[in-house]
Structure 1
Amino acid sequence: MSDEKMPPLGHVFGNEDRVKVAKTKVAPFAYICYLETYMEGETKVSGRGTGFLISPTCIVTCGHVLYRRDAPQKNKWVARVDIAPAFDGRNAPFGSRNVPATQNSLVVIKSFIDSNKPAIWRQNDIGAIILPRRLAFEISGNMIGLAEMSSGIQGREFMIPGYSGDKNGEMWAAKGKVIERDQDFLRHEIDVTEGASGAPLLALKQDGTPGNVAYGIHSAELKVPQKANAAIAFTAANQATIMDWAGKVNPD
């Protein structure tokens, strides 16, 4: 396996463009989840990330939030994930869930773990948390949908709402344009930092507010050919995988 490490998980791009989400219980922000993870044998939070609900029992996030390729432990899977949709830094208006890692609860795209080629595992850095039905989040309204945009995405403006690590569990959002599509990566200028990994790239409506359709998932910082943040574009293939996860039943 390549010993090349994961790229930095997002940086502040350009000026401070983020704004605090004041009404987290309003769609689509209600479906954005604050994630805290714990590794095996550790009692303190080992990582933070963002996820989003596509169904009451399926939270999509980045693979590296759930499977830590660079962790010193032999078992690279996180041991537990704590989830709180619409968390505002102090309150979890829809409750929270503590989900231990089992063979039924955490999934990632297989090549993210198996491939020794960074170009492949970075483009497949997608995972999900599958809740048992008894822990489902019953939040009204339409949850986040997935869509593919094969053309016309360059120069289009999107929003990323998430939990950047410098905001102490508060949800912040920023708008910005996609610079280019490079294979399955969308290079973007949206202002996010580490902790926003797993946040959706939401299309904006005509009035400038975000809809509940995601065209990608924020994943990393890229340095070449130009410095930019990156999202993984949703394709027909990875959408099919994600929807298969959404249909799984976790019996735990």
Structure 2
Amino acid sequence: MSTIRTDRLQPANEALVEMQQRQALNRYLERTGEREHIAEELKSKNPLEVDTPERAAFRTAILAPRDGLAVERIIGNNDLFPIAYLQAGLNASKAVCRIEVRDRVGRVLGHGTGFLVSPTLLLTNNHVLENADAALYSLAQFNYELDLTLRERPAANFRMEPNRFFITDVGLDFTLVAVEPQSTDGLHLNDFGYLPLLRPSGKALVGEYVSIIQHPAGAPKAITIRENKITDIVDDYIHYSADTKEGSSGSPVFNDEWIVLALHHAGIPDPDQPGEYAANEGIRISSIVQYLIEQQASLTQEQQMMLDGMIQDWRTVEHETAQLTVGEMSKDRYAGLTGYEPGFLGAAHCVPHPAFRSDVEQDLVPLESGGHVLNYNHFSIVMSKTRRLAYYTAVNIDGTQLKNVRRGKDQWYFDPRIEQKFQSGPELYSDNALDRGHLVRRRDPVWGDNAEQANEDTFHFTNCSPQHANFNQKIWLQLEDYLLEHADNHQLKVSVFTGPVFRTDDMVYRGFQIPAEFWKVAVMVKSDGNLSATAYLQTQKNLIQDVEFAYGAYKTYQVPVAQVEALTGIQFGELKQHDPINGLEAVMSRVIENAKDMIL
């Protein structure tokens, strides 16, 4: 058995480390009889039969559907992997960093390991970063590893920002802290990716092998691959054998799909052999996630938004583990649909479909019947040939007839009225954590006699756009809720246009360019009878300071309608004249943190 220890970073941590080891030993000793029973069962059964049915079901649900040997590896009948397994591990390793723990004068007190779990948040042990001051003075060092010539790569040093976000817990021995978006030498945190955290229990089973990526003794990044068997799972903890050393505290523990199942934190001293260790202990990710969810109410609004982004990511990953269900729709299904109605707000306030700049117009997808507008129940869509996504959607919302229709079976459809090659389908969204974000929100067109059909219409691939993992959904949804609640509570009618911003430097994934920004234009008649047209942009760009690009959390801005026109090539005609911030230099870009910030 390997002689592993937790980090002894500074004298103040000695008592904490010893306490955690004693507690780990007590848990280990209490489970001796049960652990021996499990080991005996595994001689005649496989982990899928020994563990609970619920955990076993989730374990099989998150297997890659094209990996035909995955189950055989779990039950121990096969150790063959596709060669891509190594590349997947290398990709996962990018998010793992060495933590250099320093005091307020810059002295190095020790080292630990940590890893990014969102585009802005890093997870490690409480005994590595015990408090906000320790995080403030310490460094997260990414890329600290050896190259093929066994020379050290230059590390990227990022400071932590506990003033933005810091949660720690001694019992679960974890710390979650924000990291600055740009390193001291100009590198971006987004370059290192992050490791999604799944909430459910069952990411690995007793008897299954795990791997650990770590910085042992503060050395360059290292890995133990599948030499580490899970021996027990109890309450908030997992016990396993593994080769780790001082400095490995805070390392991610992976299953064969490179999904994080535990946060490594302690060695369990061998009661019969002083100086030796009987096993290692990790904190279950499901327990950490549950703890964080319970803390949300006590956080500031900005911190809740950051945590909401993580929780959304977890929900997305959980949802996307199932295969994408694609249905078929007959062309007859769309007969007679008129879609978005320009005169919806009344004869005195006609709001036509927008026009396009000449260079954009040639990229519009043509319908087989002619024209470019796909009409659905209460909304319409115009598609881009090159991007295979919507240029814009246009929906009418009638607050006097809104209906509550269940989401349904979440089946998605290609639109048969345009060629399938101009639509983004399962080849983009399957087997990953990308969110199929509705452009026309599901609830918005669900009113009137055709509410059920309108609900189903929103589940077309033409109406969704892949959303970045760090897309901040909370404010965007609050904005939509505010508009919809206005339509509902005041019996107003609202017309809403939505779409992505297409940029030439958008990230490429599976041959698709993923939009990094989204816009919305909302039009309503105010109580005084005048029209109001307001525009919003959710982006990483700092519009107030007008810098080139700021990697980090998305923000939502209220912007002039004219600015959306300039970004998209979509022209809204006379709507600019009804924009309350049009021409007001002092509020050319207004941050929207909640609905009260909107100027209507």
Distance 1:221 1:59, change over 3 A: same
Aligned mate of 2:230, from 178, 202, 209: 178
Cα distance in 2 for residues equivalent to 1:178 and 1:45: 34
Q: How does 1:1-252 map to 2 (within 5 A)?
A: 5-7=16-18, 26-40=90-104, 42-67=105-130, 77-88=134-145, 90-92=152-154, 95-99=156-160, 102-109=162-169, 112=170, 121=171, 124-134=172-182, 137-139=189-191, 143-147=194-198, 148-150=200-202, 153-165=205-217, 169-174=219-224, 175=226, 176-205=228-257, 211=258, 213-223=259-269, 227-235=278-286, 237-242=287-292, 247=306
Are the equivalent residues in 2 in contact too, given 1:59–1:128 (CA < 8 A)?
yes
Cα distance in 2 for residues equivalent to 1:25 and 1:91: 18
- Structure-2-length-normalised TM-score: 0.31
Cα distance in 2 for residues equivalent to 1:182 and 1:240: 16
Distance 1:9 1:24, change over 3 A: farther
* The structure with more radius of gyration: 2
Aligned length: 206
Cα distance in 2 for residues equivalent to 1:45 and 1:36: 7
Distance 1:88 1:24, change over 3 A: farther
Distance 1:9 1:44, change over 3 A: farther
Are the equivalent residues in 2 in contact too, given 1:24–1:171 (CA < 8 A)?
no
Cα distance in 2 for residues equivalent to 1:60 and 1:149: 19
Name 1:115's counterpart in structure 2: none
Cα distance in 2 for residues equivalent to 1:169 and 1:24: 22
Deviation of residue 241 (structure 1)?
A: 4.5
Q: Structure 2: which amino acid aligns with 1:233?
A: R
Distance 1:177 1:189, change over 3 A: same
Deviations 1:120-173 (A, max 9, x none): x2xx101122024455501266x21223434861111110010010xx531111
Structure with more of its chain in helix, by fraction? 2
Cα distance in 1 for residues equivalent to 2:233 and 2:133: 30
Distance 1:161 1:140, change over 3 A: closer
Cα distance in 2 for residues equivalent to 1:24 and 1:88: 17
Are the equivalent residues in 2 in contact too, given 1:37–1:79 (CA < 8 A)?
no
Gaps of 5+ in 1: 11-21, 69-74, 113-120, 206-210
Cα distance in 2 for residues equivalent to 1:91 and 1:105: 29
Are the equivalent residues in 2 in contact too, given 1:9–1:193 (CA < 8 A)?
no
Distance 1:191 1:134, change over 3 A: closer
Cα distance in 2 for residues equivalent to 1:56 and 1:183: 29
Distance 1:78 1:130, change over 3 A: closer
RMSD between superposed Cα atoms in Å: 3.5
Are the equivalent residues in 2 in contact too, given 1:156–1:178 (CA < 8 A)?
yes
